[in-house]
């Protein structure tokens, strides 16, 4: 009898409650490098602590360059994303939707639902649906549209529905209309800053070619690899912004003064609504109270 009970436990897993010792995090960006910029430090912290992280680029990035494009660029960027994931110990998947043409269609919504379910996700990260770039905007809409549907068994029937709705967080951004980003959770990433830079450094086509070209600074990119990485760290320093200081103080107390680099997240109104005690379990990087 006891044996049968144990077997049932083994097959079914814990009957109630959640395993916070091995969290499963998924982040969606529109392009291969978006998640890295917004949450690379957080992902590195989860991975270093033994949790499981997956980054998903909803488009293949095939428009993100000034002299390359199409399949050749998509292949190059997929390889860059995989190298970026390898450098911090996470999975990285690039979906094969065209860059610059993303729309919040049912087809892509199903892709997102499938990803969240198959990862058996505890926490989802995504952009807010306010942004200068239509692909970013629609990635935000798509994840928002998936946030309830991941629990509905009759939708996307080839991937079992989640019984427990994940917590959905937004990446930080600078947009203020209709409302500014609210820094509910701010995580110090000083201990992972080098890893974050190493991750960004893997996106050569973006960090050293496309983005400087857009900014008109292509001639300032150093040629020598070490100098180039140092330049990148200065360009993308992920500073703890003044408007995050109050939230940082809430989570870090007296340690706030030593925080230089940080990433911030907003708890969306969709999905499970965690209380403070659960946030501390889902984001287990804050000093004890």
Residues that bind Zn ion (CB under 5 A): 30-31, 34
Find the shortest distance in angstroms from Cβ 14 to Zn ion.
Answer: 38
Backbone angles phi, psi at 35, to 5 degrees: -60, -35
In whole angstroms, the minimum distance from the beta carbon of 137 to Zn ion comes to 11
Q: Which is nearer to Zn ion, 52 or 126 (CB)?
A: 126
Closest to Zn ion by CB, 115 vs 135, is 135
Using Cβ positions, the residue closest to Zn ion within the complex turns out to be 31
**Which residue(s) pair with 263 in the sheet?**
187
Task: Name which of 34 and 36 has its Cβ closer to Zn ion.
Answer: 34
Give the shortest CB-31-to-Zn ion separation in angstroms.
4
CB of 122 to Zn ion, least distance (A): 25
Closest CB to Zn ion among residues 173, 266 = 173
Least Å from the CB of residue 230 to Zn ion:
24
Angstrom distances, CA of residue 53 to CA of 83, 88, 186 = 15, 10, 18
Residue 26's contacts (CB-CB under 8 Å, 6 or more residues apart) are 53, 54, 55, 56, 115, 116, 119, 121, 123, 124, 125
- Identify whether the C-beta of residue 102 lies closer than 8 Å to the C-beta of residue 126: no
Dump the DSSP string for 224-252: SHHHHHHHHHHHT--B--GGGHHHHHHHH
Nearer to Zn ion, 95 or 159 (CB): 95
């Amino acid at each position: 009898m006891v044996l049968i009970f144990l077997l049932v436990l083994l097959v079914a897993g814990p009957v109630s409650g959640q395993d916070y010792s091995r969290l499963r995090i998924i982040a969606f960006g529109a392009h291969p490098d978006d998640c890295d910029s917004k949450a690379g430090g957080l992902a590195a912290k989860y991975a270093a602590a033994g949790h499981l992280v997956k980054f998903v680029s909803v488009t293949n990035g095939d428009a993100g360059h000034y002299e390359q494009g199409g399949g050749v660029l998509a292949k190059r960027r997929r390889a860059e994303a995989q190298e970026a994931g390898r450098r911090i110990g996470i999975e990285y998947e690039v979906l094969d939707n065209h860059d610059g043409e993303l729309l919040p269609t049912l087809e892509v919504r199903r892709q997102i639902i499938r990803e969240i379910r198959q990862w058996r996700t505890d926490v989802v990260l995504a952009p807010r649906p306010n942004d200068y770039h239509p692909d970013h905007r629609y990635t935000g809409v798509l994840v928002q549209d998936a946030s309830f549907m991941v629990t509905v068994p009759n939708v996307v029937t080839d991937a079992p529905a989640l019984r427990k709705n994940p917590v959905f967080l937004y990446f930080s951004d600078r947009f203020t209309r209709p409302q500014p980003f609210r820094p509910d959770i701010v995580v110090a990433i000083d201990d992972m800053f080098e890893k974050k830079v190493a991750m960004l450094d893997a996106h050569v086509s973006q960090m050293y070619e496309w983005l400087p070209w857009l900014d008109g600074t292509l001639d300032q990119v150093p040629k020598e690899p070490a100098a180039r990485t140092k330049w990148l760290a200065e360009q993308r320093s992920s500073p703890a912004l003044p408007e995050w200081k109050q939230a940082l103080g809430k989570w870090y107390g007296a340690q706030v003064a030593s925080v230089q680099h940080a990433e911030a997240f907003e708890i969306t109104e969709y999905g499970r609504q965690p209380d403070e005690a659960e946030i501390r379990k889902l984001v287990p990087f804050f000093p004890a109270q």
